[in-house]
Amino acid sequence: AQSVAQPEDQVNVAEGNPLTVKCTYSVSGNPYLFWYVQYPNRGLQFLLKYITGDNLVKGSYGFEAEFNKSQTSFHLKKPSALVSDSALYFCAVRDAVVSNAGNMLTFGGGTRLMVKP
Amino acid sequence: EAQVTQNPRYLITVTGKKLTVTCSQNMNHEYMSWYRQDPGLGLRQIYYSMNVEVTDKGDVPEGYKVSRKEKRNFPLILESPSPNQTSLYFCASSFQGAGYTQYFGPGTRLTVL
């Protein structure tokens, strides 16, 4: 079975400071990893994904994430936070092998990011 | 415009009254899914479909039905809704070529009284 953990319900950061939102995962095979963002009263928007290749993935709005296979982590980062980054962030994982996962995509519980001026 | 649409966006109903939430995508994606979002639990997959007439259970399928008669449509059916199905529901579509990146609809907020 696959699983995702987002250990922090909320992350608070001052505008202009770097931010990190943590994610660890578990799959039986190789992972496909995703980050999504949800703004208030909106659907989920895709931020970035890791499929294969470079461990550092760059995505939308200046966000990036680093895949660390030994630590089974995929933390989301941004060098300089903006107030407009305040939202709910979800990490998700699926097994790269379709026969292991079908189209199962497993989400973490979400982390609320609060960026204060 | 490439998109996933859901209807209705908001629905208040009573226990036991059958309802259907429609989902449609115009991107010719083979995969479609339904999720429910509850506070503290993130998104949990209800059902998914890998293509027309191919559906399978996700993590929380009890009390729900789906059908995939056409590639673009994937309705979610609640035959006898109960208050514990009060939630925010999202439909999503994806395809292998994008690494299964999910494209989400705007959500349907369902309240069962």
| A54 vs A98 pLDDT, higher one | A54
pLDDT higher than 90, residue A112: yes
The average confidence (pLDDT) of chain A is: 91
Q: Model confidence at A2, in pLDDT bands (50, 70, 90)?
A: confident
Q: Given the structure tokens 């699983």, which residue do they identify?
A: A3
Residue of chain A minimizing CA distance to B10? A41
Confidence (pLDDT) at B73: 97
* Average pLDDT along chain B, 113 residues, taken 10 residues at a time: 93 97 95 92 91 90 96 97 97 83 93 97
Q: Model confidence at A101, in pLDDT bands (50, 70, 90)?
A: low
CA-based radius of gyration for chain B:
13
Mean pLDDT computed over A79-98: 91
Confidence (pLDDT) at B111: 97
Q: Are A105 and B90 inside 8 Å of each other by CB?
A: no
Confidence (pLDDT) at A98: 65
Q: pLDDT tens-digit profile of A27-53?
A: 888 899 999 999 987 889 999 999 988
A42 touching B (Cβ < 8 Å): yes
Residues of B in contact with A46 (CB under 8 A): 101-103
Q: Model confidence at A17, in pLDDT bands (50, 70, 90)?
A: very high
Long-range residue pairs from A77-81, CB within 8 A, at least 24 positions apart, any chain: A77/A18, A77/A19, A77/A20, A77/A21, A78/A18, A78/A19, A79/A18, A80/A16, A80/A17, A80/A18, A81/A13, A81/A14, A81/A15, A81/A16, A81/A17, A81/A18, A81/A19, A81/A113, A81/A115
